Amino acid sequence: MPGSASISCLGPWPKDVGIIAMELYFPSQYVDQAELEQFDGVSAGKYTVGLGQARMGFCSDREDINSLCLTVVQRLMERNGLSYDSVGRLEVGTETIIDKSKSVKTVIMQLFEDSGNTDVEGIDTTNACYGGTAALFNAVNWVESSSWDGRYALVVAGDIAVYATGSARPTGGAGAVAMLVGPNAPLAFERGLRGTHMQHAYDFYKPDLMSEYPVVDGKLSIECYLSALDHCYSVYRNKIHAQWQREGSEKRFSLDDFGYLVFHSPYCKLVQKSLARLMLNDFLSHPSPNTVTGPFTGLDVFRDVKPEETYFDRDVEKAFMKASADLFERKTKSSLLISNENGNMYTPSVYGCLASLIAQQTPLQIAGQRIGVFSYGSGFAATLYSLRVTQDHTPGSSLDKLVSSLSDLKARLDSRKKVLPAVFSENMKLREETHHLAPYIPRGSVEDLFPGTWYLTRVDDKHRREYARRPLDDDLPAEPELVRSSVAFIMVLKVFRNPVNQNDPLKLVLSNNLKY
């Protein structure tokens, strides 16, 4: 057919295109979910056990989607010693819309002004929580295309997830993830291995442009998520089977072929159910599963179930969650650090899970592994794809640098300030009352923000937003470790600025103990 070509006809590609570096930003304050249960008057364990959530990060009126993305991009560039003229494409994925015309990407371009680099392609991509993945695919495709000019691509996924008072509110969160994309990456995309499913549904959407709050059909949303997972896994398996057959192998693909699996995480318990769901798929597609010994032991009673009839079948769910418990502990649980401690970040959610996984492994543990990544966005759009981790785990390797740069995640989470649920509720009310208000001067405390955080200073009468950055060398109260880390960060910046180090733009010289 016109426009198509066989695999053998394709030309040379840049090698191992994927994620070279990552940086995360999450708010400096959080509410405890157990305390929120008491404040909301719900049964103990509803949020902590039922949803699997421990803490939820949130933003005051000092932060918006522009400030979150400004912060995470500048931190990525600084922590990796990168010059802004080394970036040729900047993609943003977000569903936090504060302007129907002007993209977040154009706001971020303020960071590029001193470098003089305006030759930067890419804009915003929006479809609920899937926008970050679409932006990442755009960046990878650019590097692998005839348009590539040899520079890096930069992908930013960011959102502020807030809900009206009620059962959905504890599934909120906020944050941003920035990813540097290029060839010879420690996390390389496996070519041709993407299973995508897209369909129309009103499971979660935001029709009121004057409000931050979505309209949610909770039951339908879960059904859409799980059905998308079924379809994506089926397509992914078909594609990898086709690859293997071309290589002369008749091996069957199963969850055992993933070293790790990460999922978009609206809340942690859904991720655990999702892994169980994939085991159900393996069980039903297997021509003759062993139900006497092994992981499928005792599951023969479910042999004839129809997947589309099991989304809310408690017996199936319970049986396969039990059967997949060991798999969950080994392949997925460590990815839920950010999700459990900070909540749902929407577009960055699955990449926060990826970063959490990497942060809690050694380079040796993840070297050579295949990481399955499931991204879902309501409305709906979903993809299951895989990353192959480089085999090189030696000190100073790209993988070693990536792991080292993320190893402080837990310390950064622990350095946040806990606030009472009443204070959280007041902040939500303030955001609700002032959303899209102009002119407006934010009331939140700048001192409560992490050093290096961009924040909103004012919105003028024409809705134009202005921002400032809290200095990196601010003295931090009451936390000696944070004071030391702030000083360490300035020392690192001095190292980066030293011409001796400019030959290696990706030189990560950060100490493992560097804190937020």
The answer to whether 273 is annotated as binding is yes
Contact 188, 16 (CB under 8 A): yes
Reading the block at residue 138, the tokens are: 């755009």
Contact 175, 338 (CB under 8 A): yes
For residue 278, give every residue at least 6 positions away whose Cβ sits within 8 Å of its Cβ, in sequence order, or none: 229, 233, 255, 261, 324
The answer to whether 102 is annotated as binding is no
297/279 Cα distance (integer angstroms): 12
Contact 164, 176 (CB under 8 A): no
Q: Is 268 a known active-site residue?
A: no
Half-sphere exposure (Cβ direction) of 412: Cα atoms closer than 13 Å:
26
The angle at the Cα of 296, spanning 295 to 297, to the nearest 5 degrees, equals 95
Point out the catalytic residue in the list 23, 37, 91, 95. Answer: 95
Point out the catalytic residue in the list 59, 129, 232, 353. Answer: 129
Q: 173 — phi, psi (to 5°)?
A: 160, -175
Point out the catalytic residue in the list 212, 264, 268, 341. Answer: 264
310/406 Cα distance (integer angstroms): 38
SS3 of 252-274: the string is CCCHHHCCEEEECCCCHHHHHHH
SS3 of 183-209: the string is CCCCEEEEEEEEEEEECCCCCEECCCC
Tokens 């899937």 appear where?
A: 130
Coil/strand/helix, residue 508: coil
Beta bridge partners of 176: 25, 158
Q: Is 91 a known active-site residue?
A: no
Q: Is 197 a known active-site residue?
A: no
The answer to whether 306 is annotated as binding is no
Question: Which run of H or of E encompasses 48?
Answer: none
DSSP 8-state secondary structure symbol assigned to residue 53: -
The binding site for CoA consists of 221, 269, 273
The binding site consists of 221, 269, 273
Catalytic site positions: 95, 129, 264
